[in-house]
Structure 1
Amino acid sequence: MVLNRREYMAALLARDDDSDVNCGSGGGATGSTGLRIASVFIILTGSMFGALFPVLSRRTRWLAPHIPKGVFDFAKYFGSGVIIATAFIHLLDPATDELGSPCLAPGWSDYPYALAIALISIFMIFIVELIAFRWGTAKLAAIGVTHDAHGHGGGAGAHAAHGPEGAQDRMVLSDGTDAQDSGSWKDEKNPHERDAELAVLTQHPSSVVDSVLTQIIGVAILEFGVLLHSVLIGLTLAVTDDFITLFIVIIFHQMFEGMGVGSRLAYMELPQKYYWVPIVGALLYGITTPIGIAVGLGVRTTYNPDGTTASIVSGILDAFSAGILIYTGLVELLAHEFLFNKEMMTASNGKLAYALCCMIAGCGIMALLGRWA
């Protein structure tokens, strides 16, 4: 909560009699050293599983044919809900608390800085994507290819920017073959329309590059916000007093958040030479929190998560990450998977209800975890 000046002074006076408020520069907790070290590997396993499973399930010949399409749909919509809840419950609220800490100077209580930083972050990401789309659309138009960012129309670029929405039927597996050839992907597109698209891609290979660029920009923005959050989580876990509770919660937190990132990565439609991008993205997510824990263990004799500097840095980074995930969750995922997705708008009521229930379930579970972390 952001404190006004009177509340700040009251909290400052109360702090003198409250030993629980720690604004010094001393180190964090030093107990449970063995379990804290083990947490590096346990959380690494959970994070890797959550992020890599959707990617490998959709892109490998040995696994893709055995996973029903409903599993992909569940992971996609459940993960979208997780990302939205992470933005509001696990990032924006902590940022507000950190930048409203009674340990900070009175000026921090004069304005809701956490909300302002999140707002700036949202507009920064919007402007970056706007410039990228205008540049990409102009490049495609120059070679005679129509690009529809919402995925309503046909053409080679119709689904380029947002993989999940009405995803292209052509999908490249890690061994360089099409998933449709392995029987893992149902071809629902008109053959003439498919032939026309493939002809365009063959005649204008630069359009593939533009499509790859727009997809990578979108996913990179999402990963950037999530990775900042993951580093802070790991750092906090390494030095917190309430280690056991936070450790258990973060195992599930990272696995569910990894599912959200992984499902986003899995639905990227890339040429064969870029098939490694989603895998690298999943691996990067998987190692980030363990790296944060390892760094925290290394500096836990000097790093105080309740200190003034730590509160400011964590609050700013959390608020900035919150803005990224709010934009990504509401615009890139929620709007483009439902409102701007022709397939979803014409889907049966049952399919729409299932997708909404999966998304709400992901959001609800992640919000519930916010009770402890």
Structure 2
Amino acid sequence: MSTQLFLLKISTLIYFSILLQSTLIFANCTCEPQDNKNNHQTKHKALSYKLVAISSILCASALGVIIPILLKSFKSLQQNDYSSLNFLIKAFAAGVILATGFIHILPDAFESLTNPCLSKKLWGSFPFAGFVSMMSAIFTLMIESFATGYHRRAELRKAQPVNIEEKEGIHTHGHGQGHELGHSPQILLERSNSSSLIRHRLISQVLELGILVHSVIIGISLGATENPKTIKPLIIALSFHQFFEGMGLGGCISQAKYKARTITIMVLFFTLTTPTGIAIGMMISQGYNEQSSAALIVQGVLNSASAGILIYMALVDLLATDFMDPKLQSSFKLQIIANVSLVLGACCMSLLAKWGGT
């Protein structure tokens, strides 16, 4: 299951990259292209900033996603201490992911799909960005529901091991005790833990897919920009952007209890996506036109889908699950700190929109 989803991610990202590259270069523009009279010195300066952006975002992404994973691996932390710390990290990360969807991605999607360069009769008569985002959230719910349901039905179909002692118990003490032995609390606990683990793994993979789609788009946009004044503030904004998103993803990966190889692959995927998008943007910068109809539609639709995934994951899989957890609700102090952490994460990410424009 895990291998198939990784292959799906690879093929999806390659497809998006090729699609974006081809449409941005060869699409017919419905508006006049922007004036891009940059001299050689300006382009050289922009290139320098882009190289700085690649290294900065690479380090920030890696650091953000690795921190939660390393915290769980520290044996010095007691189980209760880590559980409390995990609630705080996930609350902060959920706020970051929620703000990413509402403040960074969804407004960009509406801006792209309501751009004057697009036909007002088709794109201006219906809120396509909101519709795609809604359908994306519903589709994510369906995937989680069907995948979890399939696993639980498979668990129920498994034959329970019945040994000689259990058979003797059935004959000696009647059918009631035999049934109880066949469904012992240990077996039920193992089933519950298995279902919970599958769900955590599904959450981490769907969340990463939603983040990666947006990361490719912002990477290509930065890489194709030739204005140093635009790139300079984006370096800091996107570095923090990827760092916070990485913390959210890292918290989910740590709960999924993957093997070291799978964790490494997921970390590399997240870390390298935005720098790869920047490199692609640099390659297509000569033919890039942000105001072409195809570019606006592709970016708008993909951003809308990504926003729907991230908003759903933040509200349903991260916040609703943790904030209704008995461990959190049994401690008023922990509840207060978790809520503050949530608001802090949302506010930090929202403030980046003022300078980042992402």
TM-score bracket, shorter-length normalisation: 0.7 to 0.9
Q: Evaluate the alpha carbon distance shift between residue 197 and residue 43 of structure 1 in structure 2; reply closer, same or farther with a 3 A threshold.
A: farther
Q: Does 1:24 align with 2:33?
A: yes
Which of 255, 264, 286 pairs up with 1:267?
255
Percent identical residues? 30
Equivalent positions of 1:207-246 (< 5 A) are: 212-240=197-225, 241=227, 242-246=230-234
Q: How does 1:127-276 map to 2 (within 5 A)?
A: 127-143=142-158, 197=186, 201=190, 212-240=197-225, 241=227, 242-270=230-258, 274-276=259-261
Q: CA deviation at 1:269?
A: 3.6
Instruction: Give the Å deviation of 1:212.
Output: 4.7
Structure 1 counterpart of 2:334, one-letter code: K
Pick the aligned partner of 1:291 from 255, 276, 284.
276
**Residue in 2 that maps onto 1:36:** 50
1:314 to 284, 289, 299: 299
TM-score, normalised on structure 2? 0.74
Partner residue, 1:343: 327
C-alpha separation between the residues in 1 aligned to 2:271 and 2:35?
Answer: 30
Higher relative CO (Cα under 8 Å, sequence separation at least 6) belongs to 2
Deviations 1:71-122 (CA, angstroms, capped at 9, x unpaired): 4443221111101111111111110001000111221111100000001101
1:359 CA drift (Å): 0.8
- Structure 1 segments, 4+ long, off by >6 Å, are 25-29
Shift of 1:33: 1.0
User: How far apart in 1 are the matches of 2:286 and 2:77?
Assistant: 47
How far off is 1:25 after superposition? Answer: 8.5
Q: Is the 8 A contact 1:79 1:359 kept in 2?
A: yes
Contact 2:133 2:304 in 1 (8 A): yes
Tell me the distance in 1 between the aligned counterparts of 2:338 and 2:124.
Answer: 41
Higher helix share: 2
Aligned to 1:156: none
1:101 aligned counterpart, secondary structure = coil
Which residue of structure 2 aligns with residue 155 of structure 1?
none
| Cα distance change, pair 370–138 in 1 and its aligned pair in 2 (3 A) | same
Question: Once the 2 structures are TM-superposed, how far is the Cα of residue 306 of structure 1 from its aligned partner?
Answer: 3.2
Change in CA separation of 1:116 and 1:78 when aligned onto 2, cut-off 3 Å: same
Q: The residue matched to 2:354 in structure 1 has which SS?
A: coil
Q: TM-score, normalised by structure 1?
A: 0.71
The 2-side partners of 1:307 and 1:34 are apart by 27
> Which segments of 5 or more consecutive residues in structure 2 lack a partner in the other structure?
1-29, 161-183
SS at 1:267 equivalent: helix
C-alpha RMSD of the superposition: 2.9
The alignment covers a number of residue pairs equal to 294
Q: Which residue of 2 aligns with 1:169?
A: none
Asked if the contact 2:90–2:318 (Cα under 8 Å) also holds between the matched residues in 1, the reply is no
